[in-house]
Structures are given as C-alpha cells and as structure tokens.
Amino acid sequence: MQFQQKAGVRRGGQHPTKYIFVTGGVVSSIGKGLAAASLGALLETRGLRVSMTKMDPYINVDPGTMSPFQHGEVFVTDDGAETDLDLGHYQRFTRANLAKRNSFTTGQVYDTVINRERRGDYLGGTVQVIPHITDQIKANIVHSSEGADVSIVEVGGTIGDIESLPFLEAIRQFRNDVGKENSLFIHVTLVPYIRAAGELKTKPTQHSVKELRSIGIQPDILICRADQPMSQDVREKISLFCNLDRECVFEALDVDNIYKMPIIYHEQGLDARIAEHLGIWTAQPNLEEWNRIIERLEKPRHSLRVGVVGKYLGVRDSYKSLYEALTHGGIANEASIEIVGLDSEQISAANASETLGDFDAIIVPGGFGDRGVLGKMSAIQFARENKVPFLGICLGMQLSCLEYARNVLKIADANSEEFDPQSRNKVIHLMESQQNVERKGGSMRLGAYDCIVRRTTNAYTAYAADRISERHRHRYEFNPEFRSRFEDSGFLVSGESPDGTLAEMMELSGHPWFMGCQFHPELKSRPTQPHPLFRELISAAVKRKQLRD
Ligand code: GLN
C-alpha cells in the first residue's frame, strides 16, 4: 500500500490533526523525550487531545531483546508492546493512549515492507527506501495519530546519524503532504557553556540546524538545552544563523524537578507560539494540577530514604519508571524520597543490617538471570524480619517467595526454574504458556491482564477494588503446588488471575507492608495519579519513621 497523500489526515475538514515532529541535535540523551512529553502535557492543559509516538532508528524490531545496560528500561504498553523508555515519559506527563502503534523502529518498518514484498504486493517493482520505506513510516505516523487533535512524533537518534535519515525524509515529505499550517518541526539542541571562554557557544546548534536544512527540514522552533540562561545576544545569534524568529528560540535549563517543565515552557510562551503556528484556538492552559504537584514536591513534610536493591545500577535509566513511581508515592504522602541504588552483589546475610539498616523502605525490582539473586534474597530477609516496608516487583516477588520457602518453610533447595532448571523444588516455575517458546523476541507474558484482589488484605486497602488491571513482562510464575503451604503460614496470595491459576500479588500477614507483585506497577504511575502500591508503600514507610523518631 502506498501512503495515500493526505489520507487519514482530515485536511480541510473541520478539525484536522496537527503534527509536531521533535528531533534532537548535537548529542544524544539531550532530553527530547522529556521535552516532547512536557509539550504534550502543556497542550493537554489547553484541552487538546494529544497522541504521542516514538520512532526509533535501530534495527531491533523492539527493545525487548536489548539489555537494560544498553538501552535502559523497556516500557510495556497495555496491548503488550515492548517499547522505548520515552513512552514512560509520555505516560507520566500525558493522558495519551499508548499502544503498539505509538512506538516503532526501523526494524519494524523493514519487517513490514519485506513481508509485503514476499507476499507479492509490489510485483514488478523495485522496493526502495524512497518511496516504500518512507511511505510505510508515513502510514505508521498517520495510524498512531488517529483521533488526536495534536500528534507529537519524536524521532530517535541525533541529526547526522545515518540511521535516522529515512525517518527525517519521511517527516520532510509529511509536511508537504499535510501543509505548513498542519505541521511543525521542533529541534532540541545543546548550547554548551565553555568555561575557558566564559560564554555559551551556539556553533554546535548552528551546525545541527545546517545539517537538518541540508535534508530539507527548516525547524520552526528550537529548544536549546543550556547550562546557563541565554542572553538576548545568544538568542539573536541563533535566530540569525538558524534562520528563525527570535521568539522561536526557547531555552531549557537543567531543572531539579522534571515536572516543572510544562510550566517553564508555558512561561516562555511555547504553547502560545505552537498554537499560533498551527492555527489552534483554545482557552488559556489550566496549570493548576501541575502547580499542585510542584508545590507538594517543594514543600515535603517528611523525608525518606528508599533502597533499591538491583543490578542494572550503573545506568540510571534502567529503573526509570520505578524511580519516578517512588517520587509519585512521595507526592501522595508529602514526602521527599531519596532513592539509593544498592548493588545486590555487594549484599549478604552478614552485612544486610549494616547496609540496609538506615532505609525506610526496600525495593527489589524486576530482572533477569541469577546474578546477584542471593544478595537480593538477603535484603528481602532483612525487610521481612525487621518489618521494613517492602515491595518486590516481578523477579522481586519471585525472590521473596524463594526466601520465604528457604528460611521459613525450610525448603532448603527451593529455587526458580530460571536459575536451576533441574531443581526438585521449583517454587517458581516456567508458565505453561511459555514451555514451547523458541523465539525469544516478544514472547513473554506481556501487557495488561486482569487481577482479582482478595478482600481484607493490604493489596485491597491499596486498590479499594475487587478487579484491577496491571502490566506484565515475565516468563516464570509462582508454582501453585506450594500455595497452601505458603498461605497456611501467613504468606498470602492477595491477588490472582481471574481463573485463579496465577498468583499476581503475594503479601505477608503480620507485617506492616510486605508486598510482592508479579506485574510492573511502576509502568502505570503518574505524578497526577500515584500508583496505589507506591502510595501505600511510602505511607507505611512514613508511619514507621514517625514511630522510630
Ligand atoms: N526473570 C523473571 C521472569 O521472566 C522476572 C522478569 C521480570 O522481573 N520482569 O519471570
């Protein structure tokens, strides 16, 4: 199928979708994702329906097969897509509906086109990057934007990379297809401060824009990440060399709190400028909700330290959603949270109380493989025995079952099939649906599943609902053969799949807050709606701290 020019874009109708394309220049990790998400938040405060999409230039079909060391966290959508962590920013800042269609890679686009070619859809033709790959990219953009007033599309990678060229060519064509009044190019760049010269340097930005223009894209708006406030002179220089109005050069200084960004952008007039360019007429934004969040973050009544016992600690982005969800739990409880990453390989039964004694709550997050699991189990034992509020997520829940089986139920060789396939006591075993899986990509138990919450448990106190839905990403599960032994001694299944076969939440009775969940609650937490499990974990930590002080 060729991209139908203007098809899917309600041009000329009453209410066409407007497209904002966000690119990044000079260096990677410049914060395009956050900029795009903040912009989405800001446009929503004007009452607009926003969709958010990430296009990634790598060849992997999705990031599910990449290590967190390589790519940071994998974000999972309700419909089971394993996506880029920028979708996590979109989730936290906006109400956009995120699904498979909102994240795609070069690998996925080629996969679709090659499958079509094999089927014979292009018989007689030579299949080429232009138009076939670019048409497919444009079709994906239209599909991901359905129903939105404004569609924000972020292009992964940095201008100048070979890999992102087809995406840039596609968005260049897109503007021709939908018209200038329906599309906007935002380029996020760096304006570094050079200490020896004592000034901000605009040259890298000039070069990046030059590169963009050489492929036919003139940015309409620049968002400049700067170490220092930009003077009028600097703005004028950028405006002159990059060929855009001074009012279109925006500044993004480092912030101590990312949730300030929508307001900072608004104060500089970014939303007004965008609305003007795209001909969108809306009321002034209502920033009340964002102001409230900031006030709570800036005036905490409590301060807590939370230990996260993991292994992907060198890369902060590996636990991105988790760290944010903890902050949200703090917002709900007027607490500031100091998050301390602890290397599980450095923790043992012998040093647990020394290493973990100062924390108000302990978390063991998700993970794969057996490296560091003994350290994680020592941390879990410490939290269980000392009544420290604890949350075990996915692998964290599985390890809390192993720790309990070994140390309380005295099943000395209790293990997970993941670590020892020959174990005689597989307290955690491979799910039936996973037994014949041969292809590793996209084959875990992924996405949203319903869970029935048991009344009179801490889980029920948190959710106040009988049926909930949470997102999963795992292959192994609690082995129901052991369920009665666990429950008889006080480790309860407090949430289960609707057919009663899978343990989705497990908690210890007689402990103020010791919760394991097989799903990833951090993926659904928002500053505006802190996730119940994080809210209650932090609430338990606040109570404990007050008693101790
Ligand atoms: N490795 C475990 C499994 O596959 C846990 C996965 C996770 O923590 N996301 O079941």
Assign residue 192 the CATH number of its domain: 3.40.50.300
For residue 187, what is the enclosing H or E element?
strand 183-191
User: 473 alpha carbon to ligand 1 midpoint, in Å?
Assistant: 7
Q: Identify the pLDDT of residue 431.
A: 84
Q: Identify the pLDDT of residue 549.
A: 78
Confidence band of 13 (pLDDT split at 50, 70, 90): very low
Q: Identify the pLDDT of residue 22.
A: 97
In the predicted structure, residue 65 carries a pLDDT above the cut 80: no
Name residues whose C-beta falls within 8 Å of residue 200's C-beta, 6 or more positions apart in sequence: 191, 192, 193, 194, 226, 227, 228, 230, 231, 234
Asked if 323 and 338 touch (Cβ cutoff 8 Å), the reply is no
Mean per-residue pLDDT over the chain, rounded: 92
Q: Are residues 160 and 118 in the same domain?
A: yes
CA distance 256 to 519: 30
Q: Are residues 315 and 344 in the same domain?
A: yes
Q: Identify the pLDDT of residue 134.
A: 96
Q: Closest ligand 1 atom to the C-alpha of 418?
A: 1
In the predicted structure, residue 6 carries a pLDDT above the cut 80: no
In the predicted structure, residue 471 carries a pLDDT above the cut 90: yes
Q: Are residues 28 and 151 in the same domain?
A: yes
Q: Answer whether residue 204 is part of any domain.
A: yes
Q: Are residues 243 and 342 in the same domain?
A: no
Q: What percent of the chain has pLDDT over 90?
A: 82
Mutate to test the pocket of ligand 1, among 395, 417, 420 (most ligand atoms within 8 A of CB): 395
Q: Closest ligand 1 atom to the C-alpha of 369?
A: 1
Q: Answer whether residue 164 is part of any domain.
A: yes
Q: From the CB of 477, is ligand 1 less than 6 Å away?
A: no
User: 477 alpha carbon to ligand 1 midpoint, in Å?
Assistant: 9
Q: From the CB of 384, is ligand 1 less than 6 Å away?
A: no
Q: From the CB of 368, is ligand 1 less than 6 Å away?
A: yes
Q: From the CB of 419, is ligand 1 less than 6 Å away?
A: no
Q: From the CB of 225, is ligand 1 less than 6 Å away?
A: no
Mutate to test the pocket of ligand 1, among 391, 475, 479 (most ligand atoms within 8 A of CB): 475
Q: Identify the pLDDT of residue 9.
A: 41
Domain ends where: 239, 268, 291?
A: 291
User: 349 alpha carbon to ligand 1 midpoint, in Å?
Assistant: 23
Q: Answer whether residue 355 is part of any domain.
A: yes
CATH code, domain carrying 419: 3.40.50.880
User: 119 alpha carbon to ligand 1 midpoint, in Å?
Assistant: 36
Q: Are residues 265 and 341 in the same domain?
A: no
Q: Are residues 359 and 234 in the same domain?
A: no
pLDDT in tens, 447-467: 999 999 999 999 999 999 999
| Residue 341 CA from chain centroid, whole number | 18
Confidence band of 469 (pLDDT split at 50, 70, 90): very high
Q: From the CB of 532, is ligand 1 less than 6 Å away?
A: no
Q: Answer whether residue 81 is part of any domain.
A: yes
Asked if 305 and 272 touch (Cβ cutoff 8 Å), the reply is no
In the predicted structure, residue 62 carries a pLDDT above the cut 90: no
**Known catalytic residues?**
394, 520, 522
Q: From the CB of 429, is ligand 1 less than 6 Å away?
A: no
User: 57 alpha carbon to ligand 1 midpoint, in Å?
Assistant: 27
Mean pLDDT is lowest, of 151-165, 313-327, 366-380, for: 313-327
For residue 144, what is the enclosing H or E element?
helix 134-144
Q: Answer whether residue 336 is part of any domain.
A: yes
> Looking at the 3D structure of the chain, how many domains does it have?
2
Mutate to test the pocket of ligand 1, among 376, 415, 473 (most ligand atoms within 8 A of CB): 473
Exposure on the CB side of residue 158, measured as CA atoms within 13 A:
14
Q: Identify the pLDDT of residue 7.
A: 37
pLDDT in tens, 66-93: 766 666 788 999 999 998 889 999 999 9
Q: Which residue's C-alpha comes closest to atom 7 of ligand 1?
A: 366
Confidence band of 302 (pLDDT split at 50, 70, 90): very high
Q: Identify the pLDDT of residue 69.
A: 66
Q: Closest ligand 1 atom to the C-alpha of 520?
A: 9
User: 538 alpha carbon to ligand 1 midpoint, in Å?
Assistant: 24
Confidence band of 315 (pLDDT split at 50, 70, 90): low
- Cα–Cα distances (Å) from 412 to 126, 364, 426, 428, in that order, read 63, 21, 11, 14
Name residues whose C-beta falls within 8 Å of residue 421's C-beta, 6 or more positions apart in sequence: none
Q: Identify the pLDDT of residue 311.
A: 83
Q: Answer whether residue 46 is part of any domain.
A: yes
Domain ends where: 291, 312, 337?
A: 291
Q: Answer whether residue 530 is part of any domain.
A: yes
Q: Are residues 471 and 510 in the same domain?
A: yes
Domain ends where: 260, 291, 322?
A: 291
Confidence band of 341 (pLDDT split at 50, 70, 90): very high
pLDDT in tens, 362-409: 999 999 998 999 999 999 999 999 999 999 999 999 999 999 999 999
Q: From the CB of 110, is ligand 1 less than 6 Å away?
A: no
Q: Answer whether residue 2 is part of any domain.
A: no
Q: From the CB of 366, is ligand 1 less than 6 Å away?
A: yes
Confidence band of 316 (pLDDT split at 50, 70, 90): low
Q: Identify the pLDDT of residue 447.
A: 95
Q: Could you list the residue range(s) of the whole structural domain that residue 30 is in?
A: 17-291
The first and second tokens of residue 69, run together, are 């060391």
Mutate to test the pocket of ligand 1, among 75, 344, 364, 474 (most ligand atoms within 8 A of CB): 474
Q: From the CB of 472, is ligand 1 less than 6 Å away?
A: no
Q: Are residues 248 and 325 in the same domain?
A: no
Q: Are residues 280 and 318 in the same domain?
A: no
Q: From the CB of 473, is ligand 1 less than 6 Å away?
A: yes
Q: Identify the pLDDT of residue 26.
A: 85
Q: Which residue's C-alpha comes closest to atom 1 of ligand 1?
A: 368
Confidence band of 529 (pLDDT split at 50, 70, 90): very high
Q: Identify the pLDDT of residue 432.
A: 80
Q: Are residues 153 and 222 in the same domain?
A: yes
Q: Are residues 146 and 198 in the same domain?
A: yes
Q: Are residues 319 and 239 in the same domain?
A: no
Mean pLDDT is lowest, of 125-134, 159-168, 203-212, 437-446, for: 437-446
In the predicted structure, residue 355 carries a pLDDT above the cut 80: yes
Query: Cα-flanking dihedrals φ and ψ of residue 51, to 5°?
Result: -115, 150
